[in-house]
């Protein structure tokens, strides 16, 4: 019987012929934490009393969530992580070096890898065909020490994408549409796997955006095949040798198949306070926005800077709407400068933030005031997410966010020049 991508990767890693429902112990290629989950992970690892990390050069500590630190307690957490990385020979990605999931894609994640991270959006690397999943601090501490973890092999939902997106309709609209359709728990415990002709034509950067939000439908992983587009991305990153081709078998067995015609999709917005509370942008047209935030592990890539710059070039943000832009990595920021996108955005009134998670999780750099509304390209709009339970968060694509920054109200990006 044929295998899905999840079954194929876990079979390769364990040397077993796995099927859904099996409990397997798999080697872990990469284990990562960030500064909000890392200190607990490190303390739990230390409590095990092990002399060393199982694989120090594949153990990565990212300082990206509250970077630079806005509070002394967080600064001390950062110090603790730096010292641990030094003492144990782990990899440290410090303040300004970018969002963990973007850096995993740029430098580390390979097709067919098993990656565990103490961050739910570790699933992002599924865009490169890696079995990457978010876990808590105990699980990642165990992976730090043992170099392995256990999985229940998931059943798979196959998302067959056909057609071609209209201009200014993006991968973000695809995943918001899917989550709106199946719900925030619509794929709990499942592997969400994407295929069909719409995927073959989709660049890895778009795949990363879609895989990133698989967890918002409850999924364990969001997986894309590793194909020519994957090779192209890895080659751009100087990592063509990391490429293997990886496809689900033709006769793989799926628990559910969902068809999406990309050509039929509208720009989509998720309303407060759950990601599945979606609407076509037209339904929200004209709603006032106090802050627009473009960035994060979902939409902080060079393609996003370009989409935003193409809309904002030669214009000004609405004076009543703050515009925050956080490139996801120094590589993105430098390319954005070279291409002139950063200049376009600054001239349009954007505040450029350092590479990092910025306001997404409500620690700093964009915390909302009482009653304020933010239109964000991030992945979560839970009550209190951006640091204030009295704030309202709407999620959209980058073009929708950029167009709304110009008008000061939620705007269909296809309706601005």
Partner 1 sequence: MLKGKAFKFGDNISTDLIAPGRLVHLRSNLSELAKHVLEDADPTFSSRVKRGDFVVGGSNFGLGSSREHAPVIIKMAGVSAVLAKSVARIFFRNAINVGLPVLVCDTDRIDEGDELEVDLAAGVIFDKTNGRTLTFGKIPDAMLAILNEGGLMPYIKKHGDFKL
Residue from 60, 61, 90, 141 binding partner 1 (CB under 8 A)? 141
- Please choose, out of 76-84, 95-103, 258-266, 282-290, the segment that lies near partner 1 by the rule CB under 8 A: 76-84
Residues contacting 159, CB < 8 A, separation 6+: 178, 192, 193, 194, 195, 196, 258, 260
Task: Report the residue count for the chain.
Answer: 417
Angstrom distance (rounded) from CA 231 to CA 403: 33
Strands 322-326 and 392-395: unpaired
Assess 95 for contact with partner 1 (CB under 8 A): no
Assess 16 for contact with partner 1 (CB under 8 A): no
* 100 in a known ligand binding site: no
Assess 152 for contact with partner 1 (CB under 8 A): yes
Residues contacting 108, CB < 8 A, separation 6+: 30, 60
Give the helix ranges, DSSP H, for 368-409.
398-407
Please, what is the minimum distance in Å from the beta carbon of residue 279 to partner 1?
A: 18
- Please choose, out of 112-120, 193-201, 245-253, 302-310, the segment that lies near partner 1 by the rule CB under 8 A: 112-120
* 110 in a known ligand binding site: no
Angstrom distance (rounded) from CA 144 to CA 117: 10
Please, what is the minimum distance in Å from the beta carbon of residue 19 to partner 1?
A: 16
Assess 80 for contact with partner 1 (CB under 8 A): yes
Residue 20 or 330: the one with the smaller Cβ distance to partner 1 is 20
Assess 291 for contact with partner 1 (CB under 8 A): no
In this structure, the dihedral spanned by the alpha carbons of residues 253, 257, 263 and 266, taken in order and rounded to 10 degrees, is: -140
Assess 308 for contact with partner 1 (CB under 8 A): no
Q: Which residue has the tokens 């998670």?
A: 357
Site for partner 1 in 211-230 (CB under 8 A): 215, 218-220
Angstrom distance (rounded) from CA 402 to CA 350: 10
* 297 in a known ligand binding site: yes
Please, what is the minimum distance in Å from the beta carbon of residue 133 to partner 1?
A: 8
Please, what is the minimum distance in Å from the beta carbon of residue 143 to partner 1?
A: 11
Angstrom distance (rounded) from CA 207 to CA 213: 10
Angstrom distance (rounded) from CA 402 to CA 311: 6
- Beta strands in 327-414, from DSSP E residues, in sequence order: 351-352, 373-376, 392-395
Residue from 111, 127, 134, 327 binding partner 1 (CB under 8 A)? 134
Residue 197 or 384: the one with the smaller Cβ distance to partner 1 is 384
Assess 181 for contact with partner 1 (CB under 8 A): no
93: its two tokens: 């990605």
Whether residue 41 contacts residue 33, with contact meaning beta carbons closer than 8 Å, is answered with yes
Assess 126 for contact with partner 1 (CB under 8 A): no
| Contact residues for partner 1, defined by CB under 8 A | 23, 25, 36-37, 39-40, 44, 47-49, 65-66, 71, 73-74, 76-77, 80, 117-120, 122, 134-139, 141-142, 145-146, 148-150, 152, 184-185, 188-189, 215, 218-220, 274, 361-363, 367, 380, 382-385, 387-389
Residues marked as binding?
Answer: 297, 357, 360
């Amino acid at each position: 019987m044929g295998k899905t991508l999840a079954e194929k990767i876990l079979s390769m890693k364990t040397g077993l012929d796995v099927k859904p429902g099996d409990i397997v112990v798999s080697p872990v290629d990469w284990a990562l934490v960030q500064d909000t989950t890392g200190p607990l992970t490190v303390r739990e690892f230390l409590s095990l009393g092990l002399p060393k990390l199982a694989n120090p050069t594949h153990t990565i500590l990212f300082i990206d969530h509250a970077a630079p630190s806005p509070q002394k307690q967080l600064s001390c957490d950062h110090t603790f992580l730096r010292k641990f990385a030094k003492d144990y020979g782990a990899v440290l990605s410090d303040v300004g070096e970018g969002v963990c999931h973007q850096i995993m894609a740029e430098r580390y994640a390979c097709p067919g890898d098993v990656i565990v991270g103490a961050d739910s959006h570790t699933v992002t690397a599924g865009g490169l065909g890696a079995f990457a999943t978010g876990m808590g601090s105990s699980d990642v501490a165990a992976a730090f020490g043992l170099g392995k973890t256990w999985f229940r092999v998931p059943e798979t939902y196959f998302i067959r994408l056909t057609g071609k997106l209209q201009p200014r309709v993006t991968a973000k609209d695809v995943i918001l549409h899917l989550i709106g359709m199946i719900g925030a728990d619509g794929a709990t415990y499942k592997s969400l796997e994407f295929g069909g002709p719409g995927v073959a034509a989709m660049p890895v950067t778009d795949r990363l955006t879609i895989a990133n939000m698989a967890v918002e439908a409850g999924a364990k992983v969001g997986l894309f095949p590793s194909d020519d587009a994957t090779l192209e991305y890895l080659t751009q990153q100087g990592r063509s040798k990391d490429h293997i081709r990886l496809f689900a078998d033709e006769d793989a067995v799926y628990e559910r198949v969902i068809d999406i015609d990309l050509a039929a999709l509208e720009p989509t917005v998720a309303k407060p306070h759950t990601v599945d509370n979606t609407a076509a942008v037209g339904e929200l047209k004209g709603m006032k926005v106090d802050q627009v935030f473009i960035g994060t592990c979902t939409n902080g890539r060079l393609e996003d800077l370009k989409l935003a710059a193409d809309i904002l070039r030669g214009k000004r943000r609405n004076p009543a709407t703050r515009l925050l832009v956080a490139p996801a990595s120094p590589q993105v920021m430098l390319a954005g400068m070279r291409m002139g996108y950063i200049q376009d955005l600054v001239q349009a009134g954007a505040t450029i933030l350092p590479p990092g998670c910025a306001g997404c999780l409500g620690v700093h750099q964009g915390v909302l005031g009482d009653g304020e509304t933010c239109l964000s390209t991030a992945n979560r709009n839970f009550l209190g997410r951006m640091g204030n339970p009295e704030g309202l968060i709407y999620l959209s694509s980058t073009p929708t966010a950029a167009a709304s920054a110009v008008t000061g109200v939620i705007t269909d990006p296809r309706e601005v020049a």
